């Protein structure tokens, strides 16, 4: 799996603005592959039943994490703790979240550990909170989190549920300087079946390659994603603040060209969560909403939103898992404090 540039582009698109700056993840991945060699991509079906899969992600505020110096010791300390707790070493690394830096950086972590990367993740996108993973939605008890930080501290959390997992992991993250590496759940391959979203590394690579050499990159990306174009215009208002390990804020896109006179507001919480036009919701979490550069179709992540940028906002359907009652309870609009009943993006835009 050599095409880290394409993977990074794809992960940025699937990150819906969040998941950490893909440039950090890419640099780390390129450097680690150069030093330790290629990372094989494996499928779940290829692993023995008792193989240990370690889902890893960076946890923290994007505006902090892309400035942080990462340590190669972090994945090693987590692998050591896994071996201490389970009596055997990890078999494969998995990305907890394919969106953003957390989709790319696992290549670095896998390379450093000399382990393969599983072609799967726990979100199929990016989400801001620890319990918002497919394993939780699939009903696996959220009973183990292992964290390591750049200072060398290792913290193992045995939470009573996913909400405590998030609360405690976030507190540790903030105390560690608003960034840490985290293994959330350690899964046998047997337990991972049906509890992870398979094929998402391949999907990210595929999305990242869609724009390569395309005469109309935006069109090519939109087709590959099966996305609706919500607006094309320029960013006129960006308001962000970092609190408690999160970036929250709003961004407004004023339409240009065919969209002149229209205006779309995005609600952000690390990721783009809700898109509103004239008081009418056009797309909402857990469906994916990504801001891209209108010309290149490259994703514009939350921390890079700037006044005056020429952008297009795309939206497309999430993995069906997130549309189940447990999925919506975990990561639907109300899980983020919006008093909205979830309506799929296809319906919202079909009625437009």
Binding site for a second copy (CB under 8 A): 81, 84-85, 151-160, 164, 167-168, 170-172, 174-176
Nearer to a second copy, 160 or 190 (CB): 160
Q: Please, what is the minimum distance in Å from the beta carbon of residue 244 to a second copy?
A: 11
Nearer to a second copy, 142 or 227 (CB): 142
Nearer to a second copy, 151 or 216 (CB): 151
* Cα–chain center distance at 232: 24
**How many CA atoms, within 13 angstroms, populate the side-chain half-sphere of residue 337?**
4
Q: Which of 307, 283, 130, 159 is nearest to 233 (CA)?
A: 307
Q: Please, what is the minimum distance in Å from the beta carbon of residue 126 to a second copy?
A: 23
- Alpha-carbon distance 147 to 255, whole Å? 43
Query: Using an 8 Å Cβ cutoff, are 64 and 242 in contact?
Result: yes
- Residue 88: Cβ within 10 Å count: 11
Q: Which two tokens stand for residue 259?
A: 């969209």
Nearer to a second copy, 134 or 148 (CB): 148
Q: Please, what is the minimum distance in Å from the beta carbon of residue 142 to a second copy?
A: 11
Nearer to a second copy, 150 or 220 (CB): 150
For CA atoms 139, 140, 142, 145, the dihedral sign is negative
Q: Please, what is the minimum distance in Å from the beta carbon of residue 346 to a second copy?
A: 39
Nearer to a second copy, 168 or 265 (CB): 168
Helices 4-14 and 200-210 meet at what angle, rounded to 10?
A: 100
Nearer to a second copy, 143 or 202 (CB): 143
Q: Please, what is the minimum distance in Å from the beta carbon of residue 89 to a second copy?
A: 18
Residue 17 backbone class (left: φ over 0; alpha: ψ -120 to 50; beta: rest): left
Q: Please, what is the minimum distance in Å from the beta carbon of residue 100 to a second copy?
A: 25
Q: Which of 34, 81, 73 is nearest to 54 (CA)?
A: 81
Q: Please, what is the minimum distance in Å from the beta carbon of residue 114 to a second copy?
A: 23
Residue 55 backbone class (left: φ over 0; alpha: ψ -120 to 50; beta: rest): beta
């Amino acid at each position: 799996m050599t095409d880290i540039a394409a993977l990074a582009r794809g992960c940025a698109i699937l990150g819906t603005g969040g998941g950490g700056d893909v440039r950090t993840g890419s640099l780390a991945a390129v450097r680690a592959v150069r030093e330790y060699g290629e990372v094989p991509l494996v499928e779940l079906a290829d692993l023995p039943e008792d193989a240990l899969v370690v889902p890893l992600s960076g946890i923290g505020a994007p505006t902090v994490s892309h400035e942080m110096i990462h340590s190669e010791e972090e994945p090693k300390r987590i692998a050591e703790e896994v071996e201490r707790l389970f009596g055997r070493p990890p078999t494969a690394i998995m990305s907890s979240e394919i969106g953003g830096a957390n989709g790319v950086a696992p290549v670095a972590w896998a390379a450093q550990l000399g382990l393969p990367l599983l072609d799967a993740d726990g979100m199929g996108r990016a989400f801001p909170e620890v319990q918002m993973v497919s394993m939780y939605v699939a009903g696996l008890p959220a009973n183990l989190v292992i964290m390591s930080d750049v200072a060398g501290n290792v913290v193992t959390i045995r939470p009573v549920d996913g909400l405590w997992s998030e609360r405690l992991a976030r507190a540790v993250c903030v105390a560690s300087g608003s960034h840490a590496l985290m293994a959330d759940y350690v899964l046998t391959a047997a337990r991972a079946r049906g509890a992870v979203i398979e094929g998402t590394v391949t999907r990210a690579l595929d999305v990242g390659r869609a724009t390569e050499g395309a005469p109309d990159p935006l069109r090519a990306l939109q087709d590959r994603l099966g996305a609706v174009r919500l607006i094309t215009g320029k960013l006129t208002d960006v308001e962000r603040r970092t609190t408690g390990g999160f970036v929250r804020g709003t961004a407004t896109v004023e339409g240009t060209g065919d969209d002149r006179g229209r205006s779309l507001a995005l609600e952000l919480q690390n990721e783009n969560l809700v898109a509103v036009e004239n008081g009418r919701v056009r797309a909402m979490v857990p469906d994916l909403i990504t801001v891209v550069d209108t010309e290149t179709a490259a994703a514009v992540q939350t921390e890079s939103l700037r006044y005056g940028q020429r952008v297009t906002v795309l939206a497309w359907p999430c993995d069906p898992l997130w549309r189940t009652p447990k999925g919506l309870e975990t990561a639907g609009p109300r899980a983020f404090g919006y008093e909205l009943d979830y309506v799929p993006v296809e319906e919202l835009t079909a009625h437009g």
